[in-house]
Structure 1
Amino acid sequence: MKTKIIFTIVALSSTFLFSQKRVADIFFENFSYVKAAELYKETVKRGDSSMHVLTRLGDSYYNNSDTENAALWYALALKKYDKINPEYIYKYIQTQRSMGNFEEADKWLVQFKDIQNDDSRVDELRASNIALYESLKNREGLDVKTVNLDINTPYSDFGPYVFDNRFYFASAQNTENAIYSWNNEPFLDIYAADIKPMNDGMDSISNPIQIDFKGKDRKNVHEASVAITADGKTMYFTRYNVNKKNRAVYDKQGTSNLNIYRATKKDNGNWGDIIELPFNGVNFSTGHPALSPDNKTLYFVSDREGGYGQTDIYRVSIDGDTYGTPENLGPKVNTEGREMFPFVAKDNTLYFSSDGFLNLGLLDIFKTDVLNDANANVQNLGAPYNSGFDDFAYYINNDTQKGYFSSNRPNGKGSDDIYGFIAQPCKQVITGTVRDLKLLTPLSNATVQLIDETGKIVAETTSTENGLYEFDANCNQKYTVLGMKADYKDDKKDVQTTNVTDEKQTADLNLTPLINDNEIVINPIFFDFDKWDIRADAAYELENIVSVMRAHPNMVIKIESHTDSRGSDSYNLKLSDRRAKSTQQYLYSRGIATERIESAIGYGETQLVNECSNGVKCSKEKHQENRRSKFIILSGAN
């Protein structure tokens, strides 16, 4: 007898172990991570520390942004199992970085790289250039508004730069200048224009005035590409290599190379005292100056010997009037092709143009964090900054996300035009009303969560007095909106945002009330034929009973189990009673005190709700109406 009792307990324990894990899975798959974590932890306590359970526990916390608890369970999984999906290693690395444990993160990063290098996806990564190329045509996630500036002319206009609310650029618009035979346009001058904010967030550029460097020969000299020091007293710019008479100097091949010059601002506001920088040369070009945010480094472009390609980006230190030795930025930036037009933003990001990296055609604009991280990679900015034509001379204000770039793309006003832009994350609004499904009345104070495609909860809010909720969401994303409220069953809706900024997506949520008069009403719970074990799908429904009783700590209920008329009366009575008591035991196992369940009784087929009694032919659906469990509230509902 004792052996039989022990066997029964062990069997029952095993059943509950399996049941809880499956129920936890159902909650996890429905984004109920708190409930899933609770059930997974109980499963661990009962002896199941499988990889599935440990990693699901980690994910339950990770998706709720609880990195500390996520790290705990991921660490246990990584310690216990040698072969594990590398995605869990990656998530563990992320949790360590989040908590500042960089040494631990780096340790696992080595293993992650080793595993991924042996991964079959390596071939896919090699082939991903095609997909990357396609993605460059239309960068998702950003709403970038661009405009062709009013100051553009039928000639070449490029090289935008902003300082002290003045807009500097190069232009060939002065038809009094000599004609440059390369493009049959006048030689370039540097201009300064007014900047005026507009209501649409863009800036209006107007009233360009040519900067007059005294003593310049107007016949055959280009001037372009400006960089100004933070104190506003020094300007670096590009000019043809000239002699003391300001005449262009040509090398043996008949080329007048570019040089960088320095000008000083005078008390009257004019620029003068032009000085050629010491690292220029007669037989190579040096141009396109750009300053670091602290003004201690000057970046430039040159085709001098010792580079990696046709033109490379270099840097040189500045100490007052003294300049260091030019240093090539190396193969992380420079290629066998052309690297040109560097610009260093306020956040120390390096932007430049190149035709040596994966691009849409000709020069594209790229960015890199190489000035902060020597191992940083180069990233193509994609459309709309880049096109199949030359795109170059990028400038951005990190604070306003406004900027400019130059391009010779079609439908411009001249050979090169300057485009203004303002970049903002492409956002949409997901909104809806939370209602009581039975009464169709709005539900206030319901919890609503926005869940991304990976299952991570990215935002949470509560419904208003009128049942309304609203989320800001990214464009071109798949989301799930989940609504919850005490005494109600959850409801969720899938939402797909588009690529149209500020468009609204509607997802109304209808929560099913669990309390109906004096009864807790859930979906039917099913048992296997001739069985009374609690299946996972039944346990999932019974968790609604658990939630209601937890929300009402003084509630007392009784359980009734009913069958249809098929089978003998005595058999149905016994079977329903066993199922009622099995249901009672499940609630006990979930922490519901014994005194809160007054009784659990099976009534067999003695309380049918329709005409389908013995001998009456009925459909499966009609018989189903009689197979039910009832949870009647005796007290404590308020």
Structure 2
Amino acid sequence: MKTKIIFTFIALSSTLLFSQKKVADIFFENYSYVKAAELYEETVKKGDSSEHVLTRLGDSYYNNSDTESAAIWYKLALNKYKKVNPEYIYKYIQTQRSLGNYEEADNWLVKFKTIQNDDRRADELDGSNIALYESLKSKQGVEVKIKNLDINSKYSDFGAFVYNNNMYFASARNTDNEIYKWNNEPYLDIYSAEVSNSENNIDSISNPTSINIKEKDRDDVHEASVAITNDGNTMYFTRDNVNKKNKPVYDKKGTSHLKIYKATKAQDGSWDQVVELPFNDDIYSTGHPTLSPDNKILYFVSDREGGFGQTDIYQVAIRGDSYDAPVNLGPKVNTEGREMFPFVAKDSTLYFSSDGYLNLGLLDIFKTNILKDEEAEVENMGAPYNSGFDDFAYFVDSDTQKGYFSSNRADGKGGDDIYGFTAQPCKQMITGTVRDSKLLTPIPMATVQLIDESGKIVKEVTSDENGLYEMEADCSQKYKVLGMKADYKDDLQDVETTDVTGEEHVVDLNLIPLINDNEIVINPIFFDFDKWGIRADAAYELENIVSVMRAHPNMVIKIESHTDSRGGDNYNLKLSDRRAKSTQEYLYSRGISNERIESAIGYGETRLVNKCSNGVKCTAEEHQENRRSKFIILKDSE
């Protein structure tokens, strides 16, 4: 007898464990991550630390933005199982970066690259990766308007920089200049144009005028790429290498390299006191200056020796009228290709153009937070900033998200053109009413979650006193909307946003009440034929009972189990009683104390709800009405 009791206990525990994991899976697949995590953790405590359970635990927290908890479970899985899915290595790396554990992240990144050497998230990106290429052509969630500016000429115009409602740019429109043989256009001059601000649209640019930089009296010298200090008194710009007599200087191959110069604003508005910066050289080029927001660091491009590629981006600290030695920004930015046209926005984001990363063709515009986070990655800006042509010289006001970039794309007016843009997140509203599905009355204080395609909860709001809720969502996305409230069953609805800013999608949620008069009502609990063990689908339904009883800590219930009239009367009585007891044991296993369940009794076919007694012909649906479990509330004092 003792042996039999022990065996029964072990079998029951095993059944509950197996069932519990399956129930957790159901909650996970229905985006109920908190409940899923609770059940998975109980499964671990009872001895199941399988790869499936550990990684699902990690995902439950990861999808709920709890990276600290997610990291714990991912790490357990990675350390215990040597061939875990690489996707979990990547997620673990993401959690470590989120937590600032960059060394740990880098260690696992090495392993990730070894396993996933063709993965687009690894450093060595494969240019034939169609999925990434397609993603660069379409930037979802952001509405970007671009416009070819009216001031563009049939010649090259590029390199916009805005200061004090004036846009400075380079142009080859001055036909009095000599012709530059490289592109058969006149040499470049620097121009200034007036900016007329527009609140929601691209600013208007007008009245371009060549600026007066003293000491330039030749028409065969390029000038371009402006950066102006915050006080407006100093301008850095690029000019061909000229000597003190203002004559071009050429190297042994007959090439005139670029140099950076500094000019000071004169009282008459012109620029004079032009001086060459000390880190220029006659045998390599130095150009494309831009300043840090505090004007203490100058960034520039050079092909000097010691770099990583054809041209690299460097930085140099400014010490009054002197400069420290230039420092290469390193391999997190520079590649074997060309890095050009850097720009540092007010929020310290570094933008630049490159052909050394996966791109849409030729030069693409990239951005990185490397100046604030040395571990930051470079991100391709995608379309419409980038095309299959050269796209470069990005400038943006990070407060308004308005700016300019240059491109020689096919629809332009000249060799290079300046395009204005305004970038605003494309957002839509998801609204609705949360109602009691039985009474059709609004449900206040219900929780509503917005869940993206990856299963991550991206928004959570609470319905107001009228059951109303609203959430902002990105355009062109597929979401699920999940409504929850204690004493109700969840409601899950699909919604897909469009690509038009400001549209509204109405998603009403109808929650099914679990308490009906003096009874907790759930969907029928199904058992296998001639069995009384709790199946996963039954446990999933019983979790509604658990939730209600947790929300009402003083509630006391009794359990009744009933069958239909088919089968022997005595057999049905015993089977229903076993099922009632099994149901009771499940609730005990979920932490419901013994005294809160007064009884669990099977009544067989003694309490039919319709005519279908012995010998009466009935449909399957009519018999189903009699196969039921009832959870009757005996006490519910708060």
TM-score by length of 2: 0.88
For the residue of structure 2 that corresponds to 1:205, the secondary structure is strand
Letter in 2 for 1:472: E
Match of 2:238 in 1: 238
Cα distance change of structure 1 residues 338 and 120 upon mapping to structure 2, 3 Å threshold = closer
Letter in 2 for 1:191: Y
* CA deviation vs aligned residue, 1:253-302 (integer Å, no higher than 9, x gap): 66655443221112333211222344545565443332344444434345
* CA deviation vs aligned residue, 1:294-346 (integer Å, no higher than 9, x gap): 44443434556776666554555543333455566566655665443232334
Give the whole-Å Cα distance in 1 for the aligned partners of 2:472 and 2:193: 38
Match of 1:494 in 2: 494
Give the whole-Å Cα distance in 1 for the aligned partners of 2:519 and 2:318: 81
Match of 2:110 in 1: 113
1:563 equivalenced with 2:560 (yes/no): no
Give the drift of 1:405. 0.8
Match of 2:621 in 1: 621
Match of 1:467 in 2: 467
Give the whole-Å Cα distance in 2 for the aligned partners of 1:264 and 1:509: 65
* Deviates most, 526-535 or 556-565: 556-565
Calculate percent identity across the aligned residue pairs: 74
Cα distance change of structure 1 residues 318 and 545 upon mapping to structure 2, 3 Å threshold = closer
Match of 1:577 in 2: 577
Give the drift of 1:488. 0.9
Confirm or deny: 8 A CA contact 1:168 1:226 kept in the other structure: yes
Give the whole-Å Cα distance in 2 for the aligned partners of 1:69 and 1:339: 39
1:631 equivalenced with 2:631 (yes/no): yes
Give the whole-Å Cα distance in 2 for the aligned partners of 1:303 and 1:94: 35
Give the whole-Å Cα distance in 2 for the aligned partners of 1:336 and 1:598: 76
Give the drift of 1:538. 1.1
For the residue of structure 2 that corresponds to 1:48, the secondary structure is coil
Letter in 1 for 2:110: K
Query: How does 1:501-520 map onto structure 2 within 5 Å?
Result: 501-520=501-520
Give the drift of 1:424. 3.0
Give the whole-Å Cα distance in 1 for the aligned partners of 2:99 and 2:334: 36
Give the drift of 1:511. 0.9
Confirm or deny: 8 A CA contact 1:217 1:247 kept in the other structure: no
1:202 equivalenced with 2:205 (yes/no): no
* CA deviation vs aligned residue, 1:211-253 (integer Å, no higher than 9, x gap): 1123532643432221123332221222344455645566676
Confirm or deny: 8 A CA contact 2:94 2:105 kept in the other structure: no
Give the whole-Å Cα distance in 2 for the aligned partners of 1:263 and 1:506: 59
Letter in 1 for 2:115: D
Give the drift of 1:404. 1.0
Give the drift of 1:590. 2.7
Match of 1:384 in 2: 384
Confirm or deny: 8 A CA contact 2:429 2:473 kept in the other structure: yes
Cα distance change of structure 1 residues 77 and 224 upon mapping to structure 2, 3 Å threshold = closer
Confirm or deny: 8 A CA contact 1:238 1:259 kept in the other structure: yes
Cα distance change of structure 1 residues 149 and 16 upon mapping to structure 2, 3 Å threshold = same
Letter in 1 for 2:135: S
Cα distance change of structure 1 residues 272 and 524 upon mapping to structure 2, 3 Å threshold = same
Match of 2:430 in 1: 430
Give the drift of 1:567. 0.8
Cα distance change of structure 1 residues 198 and 558 upon mapping to structure 2, 3 Å threshold = same
Confirm or deny: 8 A CA contact 1:480 1:493 kept in the other structure: yes
1:322 equivalenced with 2:319 (yes/no): no
Confirm or deny: 8 A CA contact 1:86 1:112 kept in the other structure: no
1:160 equivalenced with 2:180 (yes/no): no
For the residue of structure 1 that corresponds to 2:614, the secondary structure is coil
Match of 1:358 in 2: 358
Cα distance change of structure 1 residues 121 and 573 upon mapping to structure 2, 3 Å threshold = farther
Give the whole-Å Cα distance in 2 for the aligned partners of 1:299 and 1:400: 23
1:541 equivalenced with 2:538 (yes/no): no
Confirm or deny: 8 A CA contact 1:554 1:637 kept in the other structure: yes
Confirm or deny: 8 A CA contact 2:290 2:344 kept in the other structure: yes
Give the drift of 1:450. 1.8
Confirm or deny: 8 A CA contact 1:178 1:218 kept in the other structure: no
For the residue of structure 2 that corresponds to 1:237, the secondary structure is strand
* Deviates most, 478-487 or 148-157: 148-157
Cα distance change of structure 1 residues 337 and 484 upon mapping to structure 2, 3 Å threshold = closer
Give the whole-Å Cα distance in 2 for the aligned partners of 1:355 and 1:178: 30
* Deviates most, 165-174 or 282-291: 282-291
Cα distance change of structure 1 residues 454 and 382 upon mapping to structure 2, 3 Å threshold = closer
Give the drift of 1:62. 3.2
Give the whole-Å Cα distance in 1 for the aligned partners of 2:413 and 2:571: 90
Confirm or deny: 8 A CA contact 1:90 1:109 kept in the other structure: no
Give the drift of 1:525. 0.4
Give the whole-Å Cα distance in 2 for the aligned partners of 1:328 and 1:570: 87
Give the drift of 1:373. 6.5
Give the drift of 1:81. 4.4
Letter in 2 for 1:110: N
Cα distance change of structure 1 residues 173 and 71 upon mapping to structure 2, 3 Å threshold = closer
Query: How does 1:248-259 map onto structure 2 within 5 Å?
Result: 248=248, 257-259=257-259
For the residue of structure 1 that corresponds to 2:411, the secondary structure is coil
Letter in 2 for 1:26: I
Query: How does 1:17-32 map onto structure 2 within 5 Å?
Result: 17-32=17-32
Identify unmatched segments of 5+ residues in structure 1: none
Confirm or deny: 8 A CA contact 1:136 1:360 kept in the other structure: yes
1:343 equivalenced with 2:340 (yes/no): no
* Deviates most, 618-627 or 374-383: 374-383
Match of 1:598 in 2: 598
Confirm or deny: 8 A CA contact 2:215 2:272 kept in the other structure: no
Give the drift of 1:156. 2.9
Cα distance change of structure 1 residues 276 and 595 upon mapping to structure 2, 3 Å threshold = closer
Cα distance change of structure 1 residues 247 and 466 upon mapping to structure 2, 3 Å threshold = same
Give the whole-Å Cα distance in 2 for the aligned partners of 1:412 and 1:582: 76
Give the drift of 1:574. 2.0
Match of 1:225 in 2: 225
* CA deviation vs aligned residue, 1:9-31 (integer Å, no higher than 9, x gap): 33323222222222222222222
Confirm or deny: 8 A CA contact 2:214 2:270 kept in the other structure: no
* Deviates most, 381-390 or 493-502: 493-502
* Deviates most, 240-249 or 621-630: 240-249
Confirm or deny: 8 A CA contact 2:40 2:53 kept in the other structure: yes
Confirm or deny: 8 A CA contact 1:170 1:223 kept in the other structure: yes
Match of 1:607 in 2: 607
Match of 1:212 in 2: 212
Confirm or deny: 8 A CA contact 1:86 1:116 kept in the other structure: no
Match of 1:53 in 2: 53
